[in-house]
Every structure is written in C-alpha cells, then in structure tokens.
Structure 1
Amino acid sequence: MKKPNFFFIGAPKCGTTAMANWLQEHPRIFMTQRRKEPMFFDNDIFNPDRMSLKQYESLFRKADDDHLVVGEASTSYLRSLEAVQNILEYSPSARFLVAVRNPVEMAPSVHAQLMYTQHETIADFEEAWQAQEDRVQGKRLPSNSRNDPASLMYADVCRLGEQLERLLGQVSRDRVMVVFMDDMKADSRRVYLDILDFLGVPDDGRSDFPSANVRKRVKLPVLGKMLAYALQYKRLLGLQGVKTGAFLKLHAWNEVPMARTEPDEQFRKELIDCFEEDILLLGELTGRDVSGWLR
C-alpha cells in the first residue's frame, strides 16, 4: 500500500468535485474512490463517521507502483484548524491543492448544498445569512447540525483568504497550488495541465472536462432523509463503498436542478462589505487581481 502524498483540501463549491473526478481518471494518479471525502485529519470538525487509521489507509490499498501520485480530496481540511498539521505529521512532504472562488458567489452555493443534504432548514439564503448570529448562540439550529454549527457560519466557511494564509503559514509555497474557479470555467484543459505539472504527472490527453456537483435540490425531503439514514447505516456496517442500483436510482430520481437566484443589490453590498478584507487578502496571497469581485 502507498500512503497518500497529495491532498485536495478545499474549498467546497469551488469546482473541487469536478477536478477530483478528472484526476481520479488519470492512469498515473490514485484518488480514493470508496469514500470521496474521507475527512480523516480534521479532528476539530464534527464527523460521526470518522474512520480509524486502519480504515483510512485501506482506502489506498489498491494504489501501486503505476501511480505516481496518491491522494484524497476532503474540502473540510482547508477550514479546519488542525487538519494541515495532522496531514504533515502523517505525510511530511505532502502537496496541497486549493480551489477558490468569489465568496459572494460561494456563500449562496454552500447554502444550497446544505439545503440539499438537509443540514440547513432555512430555504432563503438571506434569512439563513442573517441567522448566523443566533446560531453562534445555539439558536435556530437544525436538529442534525447541532454538533457542527460551524458549517452554517457562511461568513467563516467562505473566508478563503484567511484559510489560505493559515495554510501558507504551515507549508512552503512550492508545495501549494491555488486554482481559481473562474480559470477552470474559462479553460479547463489549461488548469488541468497546470495541476498535472504541479503533481509531476504526464499529460494523459484528456479533452473532456464535465462539471460535477451542480446546484440541486431534493424533490421529497422525507425520502432524502431516509436515504441519508440508509447511507449512515451502511457506513456503520463498513459498507460505505457498496453501491446498489436501487439506492442510486432513488437518489437520482429525488434530485432536480436548482435555479440560481441572485441576491438583490442591497444584500449583495452587505456580502461584499463582509468579505472585502478577505478578498483583498486572497488577492495579495495569490498575486491575483480580484478587485472585480468587489464591484
């Protein structure tokens, strides 16, 4: 078994699922398949399904000498205060990939994802945003989010400049690559080749770059909860990698695309004011002109 030496650590809703899928299909790269986001190293983030070291390392048992890079993708690691240090203790020479986007666009996308997974119960994003102060005090929390209220603190989750600064305080810049979602949309192949170059892996000629994890909602919340409970029981039984046709068909049937809704001018200004300092920090850390995000 090879130990992982590459970690795609975030951020959520920044194109990470699509990029992880692209890398997973490269013949010289091994990415975890049975569990897309192991969430093993973020001990400060609530995870009822946390694995033992033996279970975690079993995810990589099929990695062999043909794989130049062995990795995993857990988007919670970037916002975790402990994950990077834990990773470095486990894999001292690890390399890190980070995907970022405009937090003003990221925050409502994170909210939509939490609505889909039913960890959020306030359907209107502006109302959920205004509820953050109450939630810090333990109020207005969904019953299944009481152990991880931090996931509902959208302002904190989306402060990518602060999170990247913390990462760069622990890891040298030559071992960190930052990808902007804007670039991924504009020229996916160019971004893909840059990532392969960063990892030291040859081009496999990929020309198709499908998107993934697009914004969606559930038709029937009750069915969504039943499927979530079923998945949890599978994990408790050690069957998280087992995929049944009926299970997947029910999941697919219960999903429908979710239309994007833009915040009104006043609320958008509130979001920009909240993230302005962090946006400027991200631009400074990456050498990127992100002033357009403030307009």
Structure 2
Amino acid sequence: MTPRGPDFLIVGAPKCGTTSLYRSLRDHPRLYASTRKEPHFFCDVLPPHFRSMDADAYFALFADAPESSLAFEASTNYVYSEAACRRIRDHSRDSRIIVILRDPVARAYSEYWHFRRYGMEPLSFEECIATDGEREVSRRYHERGLYSRHIERYLDTFGEGQVHVLLLDDLARDATATHAGICAFLGVDARALNVDKPQGQAWAPRWRRAGAAYGGLVSDRTAFTRFVRGATPRWARRPGRAVARALLTTTRVPPMAPETRARLRDGYAAEVSRLESVLRRDLTAWRT
C-alpha cells in the first residue's frame, strides 16, 4: 500500500509569505499540515543537511492525517527544483500546487537578511548581487526572483487546474478574499478558516555574532541543536525562541540603498513582463 502523502503542496517561494499561509491553512478543520513545515523531501537544490529525511520519515509526517482531510506541506525551494516537480508528479499526478510570489526586489533583500541574521552571510547585499551567478544556488538572491520559468514548469507538469498562484500583495490587500480563493481551489469551506494578514517581520542581529548565536539556538544544523530541540517540550519552544530573538536581535533592518534598488528594478524588468504573460495579470507595482 502506498503511504499517505500530501494532497497539495505549497512549493514556494522563500520569503514570500509561505509561513503565514501554512499557519492559516493548518487551522482549517479539513486540512492537515505536516508536523514539520519544510521537509524538502522531493528537493535537490539544497545542501544535504537541509534534506536528510528518508521516505519513511517523510510519510510519517502525514501518518495521523484523518482520511477525510487534505494533507499538505510547505517546502519553499520546491518551486526552483525540476526534480521536485517531477518527483511530486511521480508520487501523485493529482497533487495540487500552491505558489505564492512577491516583488522580486523585496524578496531578494528579505532573503539576504534571513541568512545575514543567522550569521550565515558575511558579504554586503551589493557584493552578493554582484557575484550572484557564482554563489551556492540557495544564496543566489537575484536569480531566485526569476520566477516565470519555474511557474511554467509546474503549469506544464500539472496543468492550470491544479496550480494556484497568488501574490503576497494579495494577502496584504485582502487576506479574506485571497484565502477564499485558496479554499475554492482546494474544495473546502472558507468560512471555517481564521484569516490573518502575514505577520512575518524582518529582523537583524544586534551585534556581529548575535545572528550566529540565535541561528545556533533555533536551527537543526548540528547534532547538539537537534538534541536540545528534541529534549525541549514542544510547548516551550516558541516562548524560548521569542526570548532568544528579543535578546539577540532587533527589527531595525537598514533600508536598501536607492541605487541598488534601481539597478535591481532594471534587471528584473524583462522578467516581470514575462511573468505578467504567464500569470495573465498586471504587475505594475513591481516596476516602481
């Protein structure tokens, strides 16, 4: 018997509101969220320590899903991975795909600060952009905003009826209507969903080594931190993270340099036009 897996997947993109969306949908009585948000089981574009889960461990994430529910997971790098798209299809051709996108300039800067705050990014944002094509794929902040070819891959593989693309702008402007559209796509009652706008807030290290300290506390990159997380009761983890963040970080992320923003706007102009054609919607706001 084939083990229970996800009925639909939120495949990305990173720093586009996937965590808020995952949290909103997991509260719906007809939807069952994987017990780990980003297993990245189907993915091949991340370093091995981010995708070390075997098949038994992956399908165990859905073992408690009620038969009448729709199970799902959210792994933000699936959107970039040809292998993930193919493997998801091989698992189930009926899988439904949700993609959430964001202004690529804002997304790039947000992802840069994500790595910076964890002490994993020593370079300036401008240095990162200048060497984008030479970097490890998960750190190519500019390239990861070139969405259109990846969206086309999922549309070609699953068909328009099984792929739902939304924008972070949609959630910010009218979260209720946007969630209603998602529920209609999934075939569940939108009235059973408690809707909140995206709550993610950018933050930065208070001092040079604070990001590495905070990252070490909340990540599972080492055997020690995995042991600490396993030994900490689930109810204590979120308060513990909040205390660590308050002590080690600040929400004052510096604004992007205007000349850098202008250069990125120019660099993304053709991509935004192509994405408008793929999505058949106006993205004028991404040009200003």
TM range (shorter): 0.7 to 0.9
Distance 1:19 1:121 in 2: 30
Q: Which moved more, 1:207-216 or 1:233-242?
A: 233-242
Q: Map residues 130-169 of structure 1 onto 2, 5 A cutoff.
A: 130-132=130-132, 135-136=134-135, 149-169=136-156
Per-residue CA shift, 1:163-216, capped at 9, x if unaligned? 212222222011000111111100001001100000001124435405343212
Q: Map residues 152-191 of structure 1 onto 2, 5 A cutoff.
A: 152-191=139-178
Distance 2:90 2:224 in 1: 30
Q: List runs of 5+ in structure 1 lacking aligned partners.
A: 137-148
Residue 26 of structure 1 pairs with residue 28 of structure 2: yes
Question: Which residue pairs with 1:90 in the alignment?
Answer: 91
Per-residue CA shift, 1:63-102, capped at 9, x if unaligned? 01241x1111000100112101001101111000000111
Question: Which residue pairs with 2:47 in the alignment?
Answer: 46
Per-residue CA shift, 1:8-47, capped at 9, x if unaligned? 00011111110110000101000112x1101000124323
Say if 1:244 and 1:3 are closer, same or farther in 2 by CA, change over 3 A: closer
- Whichever residue aligns with residue 263 of structure 1, its letter is M
Question: Which residue pairs with 1:281 in the alignment?
Answer: 274
Q: Tell me the SS of whatever aligns to 1:42.
A: coil
Distance 1:218 1:120 in 2: 12
The TM-score with structure 2 as length reference comes to 0.87
Question: Which residue pairs with 2:216 in the alignment?
Answer: 226
Q: Tell me the SS of whatever aligns to 1:10.
A: coil
Q: Map residues 1-20 of structure 1 onto 2, 5 A cutoff.
A: 2-20=4-22
Question: Which residue pairs with 1:79 in the alignment?
Answer: 80
- Whichever residue aligns with residue 280 of structure 1, its letter is S
Give % identity. Answer: 25
Q: Which moved more, 1:229-238 or 1:196-205?
A: 229-238
Contact 2:96–2:163 (CA<8 Å) still a contact in 1?
Answer: yes
Say if 1:177 and 1:247 are closer, same or farther in 2 by CA, change over 3 A: closer
Say if 1:194 and 1:241 are closer, same or farther in 2 by CA, change over 3 A: farther
Task: Give, in angstroms, the shift of residue 273 of structure 1.
Answer: 1.8
Say if 1:232 and 1:28 are closer, same or farther in 2 by CA, change over 3 A: farther
Say if 1:245 and 1:60 are closer, same or farther in 2 by CA, change over 3 A: closer
Residue 251 of structure 1 pairs with residue 238 of structure 2: no
Q: Which moved more, 1:21-30 or 1:42-51?
A: 42-51
Structure 1 runs of 4+ off > 4 angstroms?
Answer: 228-231, 234-250
Say if 1:60 and 1:239 are closer, same or farther in 2 by CA, change over 3 A: farther
Distance 1:190 1:225 in 2: 35
Contact 2:132–2:143 (CA<8 Å) still a contact in 1?
Answer: no
The TM-score with structure 1 as length reference comes to 0.85
- Whichever residue aligns with residue 82 of structure 1, its letter is A
Say if 1:263 and 1:230 are closer, same or farther in 2 by CA, change over 3 A: closer
Say if 1:13 and 1:222 are closer, same or farther in 2 by CA, change over 3 A: closer
Q: List runs of 5+ in structure 2 lacking aligned partners.
A: none
Question: Which residue pairs with 1:143 in the alignment?
Answer: none
Distance 1:190 1:20 in 2: 17
- Whichever residue aligns with residue 127 of structure 2, its letter is E
Contact 2:204–2:211 (CA<8 Å) still a contact in 1?
Answer: no
Distance 1:202 1:235 in 2: 40
Distance 1:210 1:186 in 2: 9
Q: Tell me the SS of whatever aligns to 1:169.
A: helix
Say if 1:79 and 1:238 are closer, same or farther in 2 by CA, change over 3 A: farther
Contact 1:162–1:278 (CA<8 Å) still a contact in 2?
Answer: no
Say if 1:17 and 1:168 are closer, same or farther in 2 by CA, change over 3 A: same
Say if 1:199 and 1:225 are closer, same or farther in 2 by CA, change over 3 A: closer
Residue 271 of structure 1 pairs with residue 264 of structure 2: yes
